[in-house]
C-alpha cells in the first residue's frame, strides 16, 4: 500500500485525478479529456506532453492509463490507502460523505434522475476504481450534502406540495464542498470557531452560486433543484421568469430547445454574444464593446442582489468571501459588485483588491468597511481527500 489518497472527479467527457500524501499535501494531478472521442487525450501534472490513450478511450481505459503512469513515475507505489470521489447529487439521502458499498451505490443510482448528466458518469468513475483497487476503501463526497441543513422555508418552492412529496422538487444546492471549504478557511483567517461562523460565500467559476452560512452551516443557497438557478454564469442564465417557457413555446421553441438555450447559450455568453470567459469580457469592455460591458454589469448586479438576499438568513456577518476563477482573480467583478452594496456598509480598498488580498490577509475590503470582504482560493479536492481519509480510517 502507498500512504496516499487519490481524488477522482469523473465528468461527462473528462476525468481528473489528484494525488495527496497522508498529510494532505498534493503531490500529483492528471487529466484525461474528450473521452469517447477520436481525439481523447491525457496529461499529467499540467505537462503539455500528452500521455498516449487508446483511440476513443473511455473513462475506464483512461483511468487505467493514468494510474499506470502514476506507478511508472513512482508517484504511486502500490494501491492508495483511500480513494475519494466527487459525486454531484446526493438528494436527501446524503447529508455528508459516505463510505462506498453496494447500498451507497444503489442510493446514488436512486437519485440519478435528479442529475442525469452527472451521477451516472460519477458512478462510472467509482466502478472503474473498484475494479482497479478492489480492496481500497472508497468514499463519495456530494456537492449537495453541505446544503442539507437548509431550513424547509429555504428549500421549498411555492409549488403544489405533491411536487415535493412525489417528485422531490425542492432546492438542493450545489458547490457544497467549495462553500464548506470557504466557511472553514474564512473562520480560520478571522480566528473564529467554525461553529459560530456567519459567512456569505460566493463561488464564481463557470458555474456560479452563493451561500449563506450561519453557525458554520449552510442555511440558504442560490442554486436549486438543478445547478441552473440563481446567479448569472458562464453559459447558464441563472434566474429567469418561469413564464418564459410558455411564452417561447407559443413561438415554436420546444422544451428541449429552451433547456439548451438556458444551459449552454445564456449567461455571460448569451449577453455578450462573444464568450463566457470573464477575462476576455473585461478586455473587450475596456475597448468599448457594449455587449461585453452589459454582460459584466448584469453579472455583478445579480450577484450584489443575491448578497443582499443572503443577509435575510443571518443575524450577523463575519465576512463576504469570493472564490472560483472569477471570484479569486477578477478585481473588477469584486469592485463592481461591492459598489452596489454601500447601504450594507461594504467598501472595497482598490489597492488590496488589485493585489487580490495578497498583502492584507486575504482582505480586499477597506478598513472602513462594516464587514470584511475576503478572497480565498477554493480547494474542493483537498476537502474530498480529507473526507476520504477520515472515513477510510473511521
Ligand atoms: P470552473 O467552474 O470550470 O472550475 P473556474 O473556477 O476555473 O471554472 O473559473 C473560470 C472563469 O474564471 C472564467 O470565466 C475565466 O475567465 C475566469 N478567470 C480566470 N482568471 C481570471 C482573471 N485573471 N480575471 C478575470 N477572470 C478570470
Task: State residue 116's pLDDT score.
Answer: 86
pLDDT tens string 242-291: 999 999 999 999 999 999 999 999 999 999 998 999 999 999 999 999 99
Sheet holding 217-221, edge to edge: 217-221, 208-214, 199-204, 319-323, 373-375
Measured in Å, residue 103 CA sits from the centre of ligand 1 at 37
* Predicted structure pTM score: 0.95
Q: Answer whether 259 contacts ligand 1 (Cβ < 6 A).
A: no
Q: Answer whether 183 contacts ligand 1 (Cβ < 6 A).
A: no
Measured in Å, residue 296 CA sits from the centre of ligand 1 at 13
Of ligand 1's atoms, which has the minimum distance to the CA of residue 282?
25
Of ligand 1's atoms, which has the minimum distance to the CA of residue 280?
16
Task: State residue 121's pLDDT score.
Answer: 93
Measured in Å, residue 329 CA sits from the centre of ligand 1 at 7
pLDDT tens string 58-99: 999 999 999 999 999 999 999 999 999 999 999 999 999 999
Measured in Å, residue 153 CA sits from the centre of ligand 1 at 33
Q: Answer whether 369 contacts ligand 1 (Cβ < 6 A).
A: no
pLDDT tens string 11-50: 888 999 999 999 999 999 999 999 999 889 999 987 777 8
Q: Answer whether 326 contacts ligand 1 (Cβ < 6 A).
A: yes
Could you tell me the pLDDT band of residue 117, with boundaries at 50, 70 and 90?
Answer: confident
The answer to whether 200 and 307 are in contact (CB under 8 A) is: yes
Of ligand 1's atoms, which has the minimum distance to the CA of residue 207?
2
80-87/41-44 β-pairing = unpaired
Give the residue numbers marked as catalytic.
143
The CA-atom distances, in angstroms, between 338 and each of 87, 222, 331, 373 are 33, 18, 11, 9
Amino acid at each position: 500500500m502507498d500512504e496516499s489518497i487519490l481524488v477522482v472527479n469523473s465528468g461527462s467527457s473528462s476525468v481528473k485525478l489528484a494525488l495527496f500524501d497522508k498529510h494532505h499535501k498534493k503531490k500529483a494531478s492528471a487529466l484525461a479529456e474528450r473521452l469517447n472521442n477520436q481525439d481523447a487525450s491525457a496529461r499529467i501534472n499540467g505537462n503539455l506532453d500528452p500521455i498516449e490513450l487508446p483511440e476513443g478511450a473511455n473513462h475506464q481505459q483512461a483511468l487505467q492509463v493514468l494510474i499506470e503512469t502514476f506507478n511508472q513515475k513512482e508517484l504511486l507505489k502500490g494501491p492508495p490507502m483511500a480513494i475519494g470521489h466527487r459525486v454531484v447529487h446526493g438528494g436527501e439521502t446524503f447529508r455528508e460523505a459516505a463510505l462506498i458499498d453496494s447500498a451507497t451505490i444503489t442510493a446514488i443510482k436512486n437519485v440519478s434522475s435528479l442529475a442525469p448528466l452527472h451521477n451516472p458518469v460519477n458512478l462510472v468513475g467509482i466502478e472503474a476504481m473498484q475494479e482497479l483497487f478492489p480492496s481500497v476503501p472508497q468514499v463519495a463526497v456530494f456537492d449537495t450534502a453541505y446544503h442539507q441543513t437548509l431550513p424547509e422555508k429555504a428549500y421549498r418552492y411555492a409549488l403544489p406540495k405533491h411536487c415535493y412529496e412525489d417528485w422531490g422538487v425542492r432546492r438542493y444546492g450545489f458547490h457544497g464542498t467549495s462553500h464548506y471549504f470557504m466557511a472553514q478557511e474564512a473562520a480560520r483567517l478571522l480566528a473564529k470557531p467554525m461553529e459560530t461562523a456567519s459567512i456569505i460565500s460566493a463561488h464564481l467559476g463557470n458555474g456560479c452560486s452563493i451561500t449563506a452560512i450561519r453557525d458554520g452551516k449552510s442555511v440558504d443557497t442560490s442554486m436549486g433543484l438543478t445547478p441552473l438557478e440563481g446567479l448569472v454564469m458562464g453559459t447558464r442564465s441563472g434566474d429567469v421568469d418561469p413564464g418564459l417557457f410558455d411564452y417561447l413555446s407559443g413561438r415554436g421553441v420546444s422544451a428541449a430547445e429552451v433547456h439548451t438555450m438556458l444551459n449552454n447559450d445564456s449567461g455571460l455568453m448569451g449577453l455578450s454574444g462573444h464568450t463566457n470567459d470573464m477575462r476576455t469580457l473585461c478586455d473587450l469592455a475596456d475597448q468599448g464593446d457594449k455587449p461585453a460591458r452589459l454582460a459584466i454589469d448584469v453579472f455583478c448586479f445579480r450577484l450584489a442582489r443575491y448578497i443582499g438576499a443572503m443577509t435575510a438568513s443571518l443575524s450577523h456577518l463575519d465576512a463576504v468571501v469570493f472564490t472560483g476563477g472569477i471570484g479569486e482573480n477578477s478585481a473588477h467583478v469584486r469592485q463592481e459588485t461591492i459598489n452596489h452594496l454601500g447601504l450594507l456598509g461594504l467598501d472595497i480598498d482598490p489597492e488590496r483588491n488589485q493585489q487580490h488580498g495578497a498583502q492584507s490577509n486575504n482582505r480586499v475590503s477597506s478598513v472602513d468597511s462594516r464587514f470584511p470582504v475576503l478572497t480565498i482560493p477554493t480547494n474542493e479536492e483537498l476537502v474530498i481527500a480529507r473526507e476520504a481519509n477520515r472515513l477510510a480510517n473511521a
